[in-house]
Amino acid sequence: MITKEQFQTVVPDVNWKYIEPYLDIYEAILDTYEINTPLRKAHFLAQISHESGSFKYVSENLNYSAKALFAVFRKYFPTLAAAEGYARQPEKIANKVYANRIGNGSEASGEGWKYRGRGLIQLTGKDNYKTFSEATGQDFVSNPDLVTQPKWALSSAGWFWKKRNINRYADADDIHMVTKRINGGFNGLEHRQHFLDEYKKLYSI
């Protein structure tokens, strides 16, 4: 088990009020999802450390400027003018970009915002909330904010990891494929590699 002091060597800038709730539960939860070897743990912790901004964030930040919307979500905002009406309005943005996919209804349904990304690896979309509910016996469809609680923020990440069969790539020590299965690409790869190197030291790999 990694101690608070050891975590601090990996993520020295972390606010401990964010990470302390995970210290007593992460080993058992990781084991539940077969993240049960030093190499698997190192890869998993590296990824969630990056994805959550060093455990700071368990809810998706959608507070984009018009320029950022145009750059990141050009499919939905093909011009800056189209983005202006949504800029700095996270709820409106979520309802737009997550509408009519991943189990969500139309933009007017509000389900894009209701089922926005939550957890240490962002659980997103009504379909995923429903499937995670079925896997755990907990109703996240009616109460999606539960996924921000430490137990479920971590469990949802473990569930996603197992569902995507990421252990096979962790076992091969393939950070590129681990990252691609989580991110869809290689965003932040250098930062993820930094965390992986540090967690490997803690697990004597």
Q: Where are the domains of the chain?
A: 4-58+149-202, 66-114
- Rg, the chain, Cα only: 17
Q: Global pTM?
A: 0.92
pLDDT tens string 162-204: 999 999 999 999 999 999 999 888 999 999 999 999 999 999 9
**Angle, CA of 150, 115 and 139, to the nearest 5°:** 60
- Cβ atoms of residues 145 and 151 within 8 Å: no
> In sequence order, what E strands does 79-166 have?
none
What are the CA-CA distances from residue 166 to residues 31, 47, 180, 204 (Å)?
14, 11, 10, 21
Q: Which of 72, 9, 95, 79 is nearest to 45 (CA)?
A: 9
